[in-house]
Structure 1
Amino acid sequence: MIKYQHILVVMDPVAENQPALHRAVSVAALQEQAGITLFLPIYDFSYEMTSMLSSTERDEMREGVVQGREEWLKTLLTPYEDSKINFDIKVVWHSRPFEAIIQQVQDGQHDLVVKSTHKHAMIQSFIFTPTDWHLLRKCPCPVLLVKERDWPMGGNVLAAVNCCSDDKDQEALNNKIIGVSAQVAELLSASLHLVNAYPITPTNMALELPDFDPQVYNAAVKKHHERALYEYAVRFDLEASALHLEEGLAEEVIPDCADETNASLVILGSVGRTGLSAALLGNTAEHVIDKLSCDVLVLRPDA
C-alpha cells in the first residue's frame, strides 16, 4: 500500500488561505504515523544590498525575519492542535525556492511534496509559476499541485497514461501511474478511470503519399491504443466503462475527460525534460495542469 508519511508542504508567504496545508492534512489523516513539514523559503534582496550594515548585522536581520515567519507558521497550525499528525516547521533564507525545496526533499527524505498553484485574478484560471515548472522536472519525489476543490470520498480518480509507445520505460511509468492511482482511489473509496489520447492523423502524410488512406491509418492507430489500454484494464482489474480513449492532444483530452468524469484528482507522469528538448517539446504534465480545475499528482519514472 502506498504511504506518504514524510510530507513536505510548500507554504505560500502571501496567501490568507493555505490549501496545500489543508490537503496535506487530509492525505496524512489517511495514513498511519504521518508527519508534515511546513516549509517556507524566503528571500529579500534589499537585505543583501544594505551597505550601511556589517555582515553580522545583516545576518541578525535575516535571522529576525526567519524567526518572524516561523512564528507565523505556528499560528497556521492552531486548527490542527488536536490532530495526531506530527508537524514540523522549517524556514530557510534562499534566493531560488525550487532549489531550496529539492534540497529539503533530499535532506528530509520526503516522499511527497504538496504545493498550491496560483489563480490568475483577471481570467480566473490557474497559472504555472517557475517554481512549479522546476519541481515537475527535477523533484525526486511525487508532487501534488493543489487547486481549490476538495477530495470527496467516493469520487473519481483519473489516471492519464501514454499507450502510444512500445518503450519499456514508458510502460513502466504507465504501470506506476495506474498502480499509485489504484491505491489512492482505494484510500478515498473512489472509482478509478484511465484516459489515453491517441494522435490525430498527420495531414502531410495524406498529401505526400498518394496511396495513403487516412481512415485506415487512423483505425489502425486507434486499434493499437485500444489493445494497450485493454491490457492495462485486465492487469489492474478495471471495467470497460472506466476506460476513456480519445483522439487528440493529451493536453486537450485529459482536461476534457477530467470534467466529464468529475474527477477530484488527476494522476499523470512527467518525463522531466530539461534543456533544449524542454524548450522545443515541453512536458505534457506542464501543458495539462493549467487546464485542470482539480488537483494533480505528478509522478516521475523510477529511474
Structure 2
Amino acid sequence: MYTQYEALTGTLRGACNTVTRLKKLLVIVDPDDDSDFVIERAILLAFYGKADVLLVMNKANALPQHSDVQPGLAARFFRSQKQLFTEHYQARLAALKTRFETQGINTETYFTSDKNSADVILRKIREFEPDMTLKSVQATSALSRILITNTDWKLVKGCPTPLLLVKACPWAEDGAILTAVDPLHTKAQQNQLDHLMLDTTVNLARSLQLNARVFHCYFPDLSAMFPKVVDAELYIREVREIHWSKVKALLGEHGLSEDQATLTRGDLIKTLSQTIRTARANILVLGALSRNAVESAIIGSTAEKILYDTPCDVLIMKHNG
C-alpha cells in the first residue's frame, strides 16, 4: 500500500538539478490575461538572480490556413487578419519585454500560434535549457478554485526543468519557501530528491531573502498494533520519533535548525495547507518520481488535489536521472 506521502511525491517523470543559481528563466505568458502574476514572479526572480529571460507566448489562430482558402480576395483577407493577429500578440510581448528591461533584465521573446500548445512549449524549453520554467495557473471565479488545464498537466509531466506554477496571489514580504520531504520513502531516489529540494530551498530563500522551512507528514499504520496488544499512545510516539529523527538528520545536513521544520500527523492535504498558511509560504517545493501506470492512477488524484488546493505557488522538481 502507498503512503499519503508517496502519493504526494509521485506520478511524474523527468530530471533536474539543484537550483543553485538562476542564470536563465523561461516564462510562459498567458495570452489572455493582462494581469498575469507570473510576470511579477519572473521579474523578482530574474532581478535577484541576475538571470536572462525568454518570454514565450502561444496563441492558437482559428483562422483558416492558406491551403484551405481559394486564391483571391478571401485569401488576401485571411492573410491580413493573420498578420494583424500575430502583430497584436507580438506587441504584447514587446511591452512585457520593456518592463523587464527597465529593471536591467536581458529579455527575449518568442511567439507562436501552434494548436498543440504544450508540445511547442516543451520543445522551446528543451532548446533554451532554462534553470527554471514559470507558468501561471488561473483561478476560476465561479468555483474559487484553481484551473489546471490539459496543457498544464502536460507541462507538469514533461517539463525537464524545475517548474514553478504560479497562483494569482501576492507574495508575503516575510514569507517562506517550504519544502515537503519524505526521508522514509521506500524508493532510494526520493532520498536524493529530498537533498536536491532542500539545496534549492536554501539557495532560493537566501537569494530572495525569505525563510527556509521544511514539512513532513506521517500517518501511523494502526493495523501494526494488531493482533498484538500494544499501547496506542506509545506506538504513535515511537513512530513519531522515527520520523523526527530522519527529519533532523536532513536538517543537519543542510544547515537548518529544528525550529525550521514542521512534523505533522494525519491528513496530508489538511496539515500541509495549515502549515503553508502558518509559515506564510510563498512557494511549496514538491518532488516527483517516475511511476508505472497503476501507481500513477492511484496517486494522481492526490497530486491534483495538492496543485488545486495549496494556497501558494508550487515548484515541482524531479529526480536527476
Answer yes or no: same fold by TM over 0.5: yes
Are positions 1:40 and 2:46 aligned together? no
Gaps of 5+ in 2: 1-18
Could you say if the C-alpha distance between residues 127 and 221 of structure 1 is closer, same or farther in structure 2, counting changes exceeding 3 Å? farther
SS of residue matched to 1:30: helix
Gaps of 5+ in 1: none
User: Over the residues paired in the alignment, what is the CA RMSD in angstroms?
Assistant: 2.6
Are positions 1:241 and 2:259 aligned together? yes
Could you say if the C-alpha distance between residues 276 and 223 of structure 1 is closer, same or farther in structure 2, counting changes exceeding 3 Å? same
Residue in 2 that maps onto 1:158: 178
Could you say if the C-alpha distance between residues 2 and 270 of structure 1 is closer, same or farther in structure 2, counting changes exceeding 3 Å? same
Could you say if the C-alpha distance between residues 200 and 120 of structure 1 is closer, same or farther in structure 2, counting changes exceeding 3 Å? farther
Indicate if the aligned counterparts of 1:268 and 1:285 stay in contact, CA closer than 8 A.
no
Describe the superposition over 1:192-225 as per-residue Cα deviations: whole angstroms up to 9, x where unpaired. 111001124356x66xx42264545433332221
Are positions 1:123 and 2:140 aligned together? no
Distance in 2 (CA, whole Å) between partners of 1:79 and 1:211 is 66
Distance in 2 (CA, whole Å) between partners of 1:120 and 1:200 is 36
| Higher alpha-carbon deviation: 86-95 or 225-234 | 86-95
Describe the superposition over 1:157-181 as per-residue Cα deviations: whole angstroms up to 9, x where unpaired. 2111112325321000000111100
Are positions 1:98 and 2:118 aligned together? yes
Are positions 1:295 and 2:313 aligned together? yes
Distance in 2 (CA, whole Å) between partners of 1:48 and 1:220 is 67
Larger RCO: Structure 1 or Structure 2 (Cα < 8 Å, ≥ 6 residues apart)?
2
> TM (normalized to structure 1)?
0.87
| Count of residue pairs brought into register by the alignment | 298
Distance in 1 (CA, whole Å) between partners of 2:31 and 2:102 is 25
Q: CA deviation at 1:129?
A: 1.8
> TM (normalized to structure 2)?
0.83
Describe the superposition over 1:6-54 as per-residue Cα deviations: whole angstroms up to 9, x where unpaired. 211111111121211111011000123x211111122134525984346
Are positions 1:259 and 2:277 aligned together? yes
Distance in 2 (CA, whole Å) between partners of 1:291 and 1:88 is 33
Distance in 1 (CA, whole Å) between partners of 2:307 and 2:65 is 35
Indicate if the aligned counterparts of 1:156 and 1:265 stay in contact, CA closer than 8 A.
yes
SS of residue matched to 1:185: helix
Distance in 2 (CA, whole Å) between partners of 1:65 and 1:99 is 21
Distance in 2 (CA, whole Å) between partners of 1:183 and 1:163 is 20
| Equivalent residues in 2 for 1:192-207, closer than 5 Å | 192-201=212-221
Q: CA deviation at 1:117?
A: 1.0
Distance in 2 (CA, whole Å) between partners of 1:171 and 1:110 is 25
Matching residue's letter, 2:58? P
SS of residue matched to 1:293: coil
Matching residue's letter, 1:211? K
Describe the superposition over 1:92-113 as per-residue Cα deviations: whole angstroms up to 9, x where unpaired. 1222222111111101112211
Matching residue's letter, 1:25? I
Indicate if the aligned counterparts of 1:40 and 1:92 stay in contact, CA closer than 8 A.
yes
SS of residue matched to 2:281: coil
Describe the superposition over 1:102-147 as per-residue Cα deviations: whole angstroms up to 9, x where unpaired. 1111011122111111111023232322222222221100111112
